[in-house]
């Protein structure tokens, strides 16, 4: 699945819609089921803006990670 993206950061809702990902699946990718803590989000291309509780997503990095998950 390859999309073209504008040269900007995306928010979670744009990525979920573009890749047809459900909210529950997204949470399973982000949080460790045993501890409930967030996993290393940078491997998915998800970055936290310092001083806020807001996360942005690099769509190119996320798409690479997503395609690797599909090929496993």
Q: Which tens digit of pLDDT belongs to each residue from 39-51?
A: 889 999 999 999 9
**pLDDT at res. 1:** 73
Q: Residue ranges of the chain with pLDDT lower than 50?
A: none
pLDDT digits (tens, 9 = 90+) for 31-41: 888 888 888 89
Closest CA to 64 of 8, 14, 13, 5: 5
**Cβ(49)–Cβ(2) under 8 Å?**
no
What are all long-range contacts of 15-19, with beta carbons under 8 Å and residues at least 24 apart? 15/57, 15/59, 15/62, 18/59, 19/66
Q: What's the chain's average pLDDT?
A: 91
The gap from C-alpha 26 to its chain's centroid, in whole angstroms, comes to: 7
**pLDDT at res. 38:** 84
């Amino acid at each position: 699945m390859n999309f073209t993206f504008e040269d900007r950061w995306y928010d979670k809702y744009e990525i979920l819609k573009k890749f047809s990902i459900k909210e529950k699946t997204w949470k399973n990718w982000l949080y460790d089921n045993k501890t409930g803590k967030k996993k290393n989000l940078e491997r998915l291309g998800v970055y936290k803006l310092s001083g806020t509780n807001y996360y942005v997503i690099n769509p190119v990095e996320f798409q690479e990670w997503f395609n690797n998950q599909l090929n496993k």
